[in-house]
Amino acid sequence: MNETAIKGIVFDFGGVLSDPTKRIEVMSDYEKILGLPEGKLQEMLFSGPAWEAASTGKITVEEFWHLTGEQFEPYLPPEFAELKEDPFAMESLVPEMVGLVKRLAGKYRVGLCSNALPSLEARLRETPDLLNSFSIVVISALVGLRKPDPRIYDLVSKQMELRPEEILFIDDKERNTKAAEEAGMVPCLHLNYESTKGCLEELGIL
């Protein structure tokens, strides 16, 4: 892969630009309170039909919460309800990854593609220096498509005004990078900052 092949780089948000560590710890505490198996609350909230419908804009946030989290509110601290509007509420940005986005934005078209609720827009506005680094922002609930649907990769490519093979797609879920590869993009499975930095170095981007 020569260094001129890649012209655009698209990042996922949750688990890539944001750090889920605190949310995972807090959710584990909540599961203990509720007597649920490890990981069950996370699964009930953010996988399955209700989450897929909410994250593609087919049902409202209120409908989503009524179907998932509302039943647990009486038993958990008030902070739990923050997840209704913003699943990333307990996640902080990863400084090294934010720095990477800003650095790359000076040389490449940089985009964001996230399976998320509309609240991600407001979250990004809180960090204008990060938001301004993106040429495009694709949020699943606002476009009615979510990864790994092939159509969202086509949309990203069109909005980036680049051919799929000119785009590096960075995501922490293998099903999403696999779908990106099938769409013709160059995949990079994010494990941590160092692994993604390694991807970029291998491609001659850094």
pLDDT per residue over 22-68, tens digit each? 999 999 999 999 999 999 999 999 999 999 999 999 999 999 999 99
Banded model confidence at residue 110, pLDDT cuts 50, 70, 90? very high
Q: Report the number of distinct structural domains present in the chain.
A: 2
Write down the pLDDT at residue 1: 43
Q: Domain limits at 175?
A: 8-19+91-202
In a domain, 143, yes or no: yes
CA 173 to CA 180: how far, in whole Å?
11
Q: At what angle do helices 174-182 and 150-160 cross, to 10 degrees?
A: 70
155 close to 145: Cβ distance less than 8 angstroms: yes
- Same domain, yes or no: 71 and 108: no
> Per DSSP, which regions of the chain are E strands?
8-11, 18-19, 92-93, 109-114, 136-139, 167-171, 186-189
**DSSP designation for 36:** P
pLDDT band at 18, cuts 50/70/90?
very high
Asked if 81 and 101 sit in the same domain, the reply is no
% of residues, the chain, pLDDT over 70: 98
127 shares a domain with 69: no
pTM beyond 0.75, yes or no: yes
Which of 85, 100, 119 delimits the end of a domain? 85
